[in-house]
Amino acid sequence: MMRSMFSGVSGLRSHQTMMDVVGNNVANVNTPGYKASQVTFQEALTQTVRGAGPGTGPIGGTNPVQIGLGTQVATVDGIFTQGTAQTTGRATDVMIQGEGYFILGRGAERFYTRAGSFGFDHDGYLVNGNGLQVLGWNADAAGNVDTSQAIGAIRIPAGQVIEPQPTENVTIGGNLSADAEIGSAVRSSVTIYDSLGNAHELVLTFTKTAAGQWSVAAQLGAGSTGTVSISATSVQFNPDGTLNTPQSFDIDITGIPGSQDLSIAVDLNDQSSPLVQYGGTSNPQVISSDGWAMGVLQGVSIGADGTITAQFSNGLTQPVAVIATATFVNPGGLNRVGESTFAASANSGAAVIGQPAAGDRGMLTPGALEMSNVDLAREFTNLIIAQRGFQANSRIITASDELLADLVNIRR
């Protein structure tokens, strides 16, 4: 009789644990990156009243007589299915579509999470809401990222600049009209940059001197100071309108205040759009030019492969870091350490670190968060099951108490 009471108590405890798990799941229904849990019960110890008998001769075998001693919680397992996406519009919010976890650091400690609500602190570190640093690989000054190196805290300082690059190459294409009169001129200008990142207008003037021949002159635009010299003074065309010679020339600019001298190679015979002489209108134009002014960091964007690209005020973009993700052989073995983070355990296996969208790792979706995978319909069903189980076990205790009371009253 006492066994039934203790069995009822074990049932109450187990169903209370189930209620705790269900309550935690429901409480975190809107927690980004939260993974639901489920409880599995198992039978507790069993008391053997009589063992099994093999039987001898005409006497048959007998089965064991055993009485269970209640139930207990076997496991509380995590459910690691994909949560739904919620668009936030924040450039630093990101979710993993598929396998993997973001890696967070606090000193030598490592944590793992599916909650990708990140932002930058005052030192430029990419962190989550609790100040844990997001780990990955930082790019060098040229924008190159080596993902074979050890991961570290991603840092993009506010006010980061990209150094100016002086102009070294200009490509000119278009048409110099074969119908133009001798002595007619046409101009084309290009913006060039000196070693300080200052912009200057460089004006090229083509003047027709004879059939199939044009002179070339170069000068700086208004407001710029410097001496311009050019290695070729004319260009010639073949009868079919294609360029004869020269196909390129150099422009040297000296005396720009505070700047190094410039040497610019001008290409007239680009394969896709060379300078030609056909009938019609003259329209020489700049096909391409390099060089740029100094740029100040204005914003960042995150790609599907985890690459963080910085946008600068000079219109250039450059990779500055790559977010790392980790996968585990057994994600169910991860330890929950609170704040929507996990830690590796002996049964989860070691973290396998790599770049998103590589191998079996999921790709990233910027401007979105992965929401909880809690299924409210399932949780409310489990709530009813837990409540009914708790109620039934309480009735076992009540009935056992009544039997004990009847036993005590036998002498009355």
Phi, psi of 411 (to 5 degrees): -75, -10
Q: What are the pLDDT digits (tens) for 87-110?
A: 999 999 999 999 999 999 999 999
Question: DSSP secondary-structure letter at 386?
Answer: H
pLDDT score for 116: 95
Cα separation, 177 vs 128, whole angstroms: 62
What is the residue type of 153? A
Residue keyed to tokens 């790019």:
139
* pLDDT over 70, % of the chain: 99
pLDDT score for 58: 83
Residue 299 clears pLDDT 90, i.e. is over it:
yes
Confidence of residue 313 (pLDDT cuts 50, 70, 90): very high
For residue 120, give the nearest of 341, 297, 242, 283 by alpha carbon: 297
3-state secondary structure 100-150: CEEEEEECCEEEEECCCEEEECCCCEEEECCCCEEEEEECCCCCCCCCCCC
pLDDT score for 168: 97
Cis, peptide link before residue 246, omega less than 30° from 0: yes
Cα separation, 199 vs 160, whole angstroms: 21
Domain residue limits, the chain: 2-47+67-80+373-411, 85-162+297-370, 169-289
Residue 239 clears pLDDT 90, i.e. is over it:
yes
Please state, in angstroms and as integers, the Cα–Cα distance from residue 3 to each residue in 383, 397, 409, following that order.
Answer: 27, 10, 20
Phi, psi of 218 (to 5 degrees): -135, 145
Residue 158 clears pLDDT 90, i.e. is over it:
no
pLDDT score for 412: 58
For residue 310, give the nearest of 92, 89, 88 by alpha carbon: 92
Homologous superfamily, domain 169-289:
Flagellar hook protein FlgE (2.60.98.20)
Residue 216 clears pLDDT 90, i.e. is over it:
yes
- Count other C-beta atoms under 10 Å from residue 167's C-beta: 24
Confidence of residue 50 (pLDDT cuts 50, 70, 90): confident
pLDDT score for 1: 55
What is the residue type of 376? L
pTM, two decimals, is: 0.82
Confidence of residue 165 (pLDDT cuts 50, 70, 90): very high
Residue 121 clears pLDDT 90, i.e. is over it:
yes
Q: Is 156 exposed, middle or buried (0-12, 13-18, 19+ CB in 10 A)?
A: middle
pLDDT score for 402: 87
Cα separation, 89 vs 365, whole angstroms: 11
